[in-house]
Amino acid sequence: MAQTDPSDSSPGRALIVGATGIIGQTAGRQLADLGWQTFGLSRSGALAVPGVTSIAADLLDPDALSAALAGTKPDIVFITAWMRNETEAENIRVNSAMVRNVLAALEQEHSVRHVALLTGLKHYLGPFDNYATGVMADTPFHEDEPRLDSPNFYYAQEDELFASAEKNGFTWSVHRAHTVFGYAVGNAMNMVLTLSVYATLCKELGLVFTFPGSETQWNGVTDVTDADLLGEQLIWASTHAEGQNEAFNIANGDVFRWRWLWPRLARIFGVEWAGFEGSPRPLTDQMAGMEDTWKGIAAKYDLVEPDLTKLASWWHSDGDLGRNIECLTDMGKSRTAGFLNFRVTPDSFVDKLERYRAARILP
């Protein structure tokens, strides 16, 4: 494989697949800040990250991908894109094809040294069709747990990665994230933004900031993943021999209970709160029909996004907070390999909240 030109002042060339997502935007900012010549691939091409060259192509169109990626010659590739479908069979078909098509298109570039694939805890918990209901790994989750018997699009994506790496001679890494706390514009699948929008609506309407999830999640120990920390691990694995050809969990490094964190979030927003009381109270139910209310809040505070659906993903946070199983990950393998970065979860939430406020996405 071709190596980075040593006369080039930048560390190299990077491609982010899924560049408009919460991790794609984060990793793009980090790579650009480090001097990488960075390309961001997405279906829309609607990327506004300084220092990242936006590329538009449909990941399910091999010919369009080959044309769009011609001349990019990336040294490292981050695959952070995925697409949710109605069944796991469709998830497997579509998401494995996206990985396969990207890696096939890059064969013409003769440049790739390392590919990092982002997955998540469904590797241990099972797919959407059988999520956290069948036989699953014990907590804390360890990377050496065997795959579950259930079909899983994460496994299919990994298999595409492994096959291409063997064929084309690049190294790989897989990164299994938990619930992500991050800052991204135009991406609603982010618990920090979703809960912040929820708290803002509660404050404006005099509602109680009510925990929406299960008793297990309210009382149990859990962890989350800071998006900046995840970006740092992606870059580390792509540039260090210890990160090659390995799968790594990625979480902040601390653990907490929502019954401890929820009152702290309520104090940040200045709202009354309520915990788990008998049964889950999903955000999809609590926040139904709030679109016009948010438009009024956006006008009142001169916010940049009046469309509630572009900010809050009620179903996504309901899924994470409604699980009836303890969810936390072991970070020992990553630390032993040399990745020692960490985040303190309450500080992580506040950091992202302040960024959203500075961008006038939240009041």
Structure tokens at 268: 């940040």
Strand partners, 116: 78, 173
Q: How far apart are CA 205 and CA 193, in angstroms?
A: 18
Q: How far apart are CA 247 and CA 147, in angstroms?
A: 13
Q: Where are the beta strands (DSSP E) in 186-325?
A: 209-210, 221-222, 225-226, 246-250, 256-257, 273-274
Q: How far apart are CA 65 and CA 155, in angstroms?
A: 23
Q: How far apart are CA 33 and CA 49, in angstroms?
A: 11
CA-based nearest residue to 11, from 63, 54, 92, 75: 75
CA-based nearest residue to 165, from 97, 240, 126, 115: 115
Query: Catalytic residue among 73, 124, 154, 356, which?
Result: 154
For residue 206, the number of C-alpha atoms closer than 13 Å in the C-beta half-sphere is: 0
Structure tokens at 295: 């438009």
Strand partners, 172: 115
Q: How far apart are CA 288 and CA 198, in angstroms?
A: 11
- Is-catalytic flag, 122? yes
- Is-catalytic flag, 300? no
CB atoms within 10 A of CB 241: 10
Strand partners, 329: 141
Residue with tokens 């018997």: 149
Residue with tokens 């360890």: 142
Q: How far apart are CA 128 and CA 86, in angstroms?
A: 9
Q: How far apart are CA 215 and CA 136, in angstroms?
A: 20
Query: Catalytic residue among 73, 122, 124, 183, which?
Result: 122
CA-based nearest residue to 306, from 295, 297, 314: 295
For residue 30, the 8-state DSSP code is H
Active-site annotation, residues? 122, 154
